[in-house]
Structure 1
């Protein structure tokens, strides 16, 4: 595609922005909406019953995950080439961190598949009693949550590096760079809070504030890519 031939062009940036927004929509649906509609806290049997009753919604959530992950692979490559001229090393590090996040997300689909099978196939592990099957589903759901805590660490590293690249590039508003670099810590704090320190109220509040900052920065950057694109240098304009 001609639009992908020049990473400094506005058409290239628009495609990247569209991918970013695709990730936001599909990820919000799969990660936030579907679990909220199906999962019942501290009641795995009820969660299994909901999955069985709402198979379409659960599978749509998996579909959203797939769309998000495929878009993540594409945006990772595009961001690498967008910022390779700023710093090949930092751009490569950022790309590897984001791809590592996608690898963890992909592995998490195994747990989703296991829970879906427990909920919809009575012959699967038929030697187990209903409470035992529910306990297994609870374990897989917990491991899925652990996967979130892991990929957030890789994503935090990616956002710090991407924020630095934005600051060094001069092609985008520096506010986005500062917001990503500082706000990315919220993802790391969220993992720490959920896994090890849920009783530390101050930590919980800090992660909420930082996550709000990084989310606004990411959305702002995506919209800027889609609507404005990079500041065109004299060399690019001449070309």
Structure 2
């Protein structure tokens, strides 16, 4: 547990980076791969696929839960690293990321409910089951739009802290700030402008920027650790 004692140390920064990078790995599986194998445009087909690949679906839920647990450590440790740069911004960044995780946790309840519908554990006619499944999928999509708003705020604040702190290369800060708009654009594209193909292409570019920036930031912390800085302010250490 000594690695958690000093937020100014390279060991602490490397552990933070390792947690952050593991989110990318498990999140890519849970959020990227599993839905592409299970969810279709038709609720009835989605439920049939879910039953056929229930093990994969449950593994996706398990990976989501693991991501959320790792997120708790990551957001806390990022706060500890950057609070000596600006405690207000660091705390706001942590709360924004917590809001994202809270929404994701609520979304898992609907994913579990979809399992009950698909396996017949919830007694209902096929029409009712399909209608409920469609509703749960729509609520899940809405949840994505909401958590992306929280995550946009977090990345904006984190990028600002990176620029002000001098702990890691400033390039990551610029990438986090600029690329964060990819999440806003993705929500707007899905919710308000689904017919605007140019807008869909634009958001992909920004999402690529933020993905590279996040992964690069995490790897830099994990492999190099933050640059040497002055010891933590005693007043903050006692807080």
Give TM-score, length-normalised by structure 1. Answer: 0.94
Query: Does residue 1:118 correspond to 2:117, yes or no?
Result: yes
Aligned residue runs from structure 1 range 131-146, under 5 A:
131-146=127-142
The counterpart of 1:170, out of the listed 166, 172, 184, is 166
Partner of 2:54: 55
- Mapping 1:1-239, distance limit 5 Å: 1-41=1-41, 43-120=42-119, 122-124=120-122, 126=123, 128-233=124-229
Q: Structure 1: state its 5+ residue gaps.
A: none
Give, in angstroms, the shift of residue 235 of structure 1.
Answer: 5.5
TM-score with structure 2 setting the length: 0.94
Per-residue displacement from partner, 1:63-100 (whole Å, max 9, x unpaired)?
A: 01001111111101000010000000000110000000
Distance 1:190 1:51 in 2: 26
* Alignment partners' CA distance in 2, 1:207 and 1:172: 26
Between the two structures, name the one with larger relative contact order (CA 8 Å, sep ≥ 6): 2
Q: Distance in 1 between matches of 2:218 and 2:126?
A: 46
Distance change (3 Å), C-alpha of 1:234 and 1:30: closer
Q: Which runs of 5+ in 2 are unaligned?
A: 233-239
In structure 1, distance between residues paired with 2:14 and 2:217: 11
- The residue number in structure 1 matching 2:237 is none
Which residue number in structure 1 is paired with residue 235 of structure 2? Answer: none
Q: Distance in 2 between matches of 1:207 and 1:86?
A: 31
- C-alpha offsets along residues 122-176 of structure 1, whole Å, 9 cap, x if unaligned? 241x2x3213211211110111111011000000000000000000001100000
Cα shift readout 1:182-236 (whole Å, capped 9, x = no counterpart): 1101101111110111122232122111111111000000000110011113658
Count residues with an aligned counterpart: 232
Partner SS, residue 184 of structure 1: helix
RMSD in angstroms over aligned alpha carbons?
Answer: 1.2
Contact 2:27 2:63 in 1 (8 A): yes
- Aligned residues of 1:45 and 1:131 also touching (Cα < 8 A): no
Measured in 2, the distance between the counterparts of 1:163 and 1:23 equals 18
Cα 1:170–1:104 change in 2 (3 A) is: same
